Amino acid sequence: MPRTIDEAKLFEVVINEWMAHGYGGCTTRDIANIAGVNEATLFRRYGSKAGLFTRAIDHQLADTPLALVCISGDLSTDLLALAEAYMDTYRLYGDVVFRAVQELPRYPEVREAASHFLGNIQKMVQLVLYYQQKGLLRVEHPLLTLTAFIGPIATFLMFARSGLSPEMPPFDVGSHISGFLHGRAE
């Protein structure tokens, strides 16, 4: 077994095993064997199974397109950037995020793994709050506004990924933003 660990490869194994078996169905022994490392090395380096998963998920979600969203000062531009970043993040990491949302309540020992995911949500909330304070969006709880904006996108992506309806039209981001602003503008 190698003395150095290729963390990118190890984390890929962790994510793949997690997606295939869930947190409860994965073992550090199987992960170590697949990754070609000693199981004891995993515990020395990461402390526990939860520590290993936290680092792997953190690594996976650290550089999502949503992490790059920032406030430009132009509402339409920022909503377009937010929608595109959300769709790109979903395409790249949607399975990981959904698995985390499902399993975090059952396995609180890996709650720390959601730090980047929660950070992305916080950035989106800050963007909404900024435009609410500018008087450009209706003042309500920013999570309600965010949900009203992201919800249709998430639903579309979920339906499209399911393959249940092969006749899904492309998602028109511009029309969605226009409809959102019409319904949420002050």
Q: What is the DSSP letter of 111?
A: G
Distances (CA, A) of 108 to 53, 80, 105, 152, 181: 12, 34, 6, 29, 38
Task: Count how many residues are written for the chain.
Answer: 186
pLDDT by residue for the chain (186 residues), tens digit each?
A: 456 788 999 999 999 999 899 899 999 999 999 999 999 999 999 999 999 998 998 888 777 898 888 999 999 999 999 999 999 988 888 888 778 878 878 888 877 777 777 888 899 999 999 999 999 999 999 999 999 999 999 988 888 887 776 677 888 999 999 999 988 555
Given this model, what pLDDT does residue 180 score?
93
Q: Which residues contact 149 (CB under 8 A, 6 or more apart)?
A: 79, 82, 83, 128, 180, 184
Domains within the chain, CATH numbers bracketed: 7-61 (1.10.10.60), 65-184 (1.10.357)
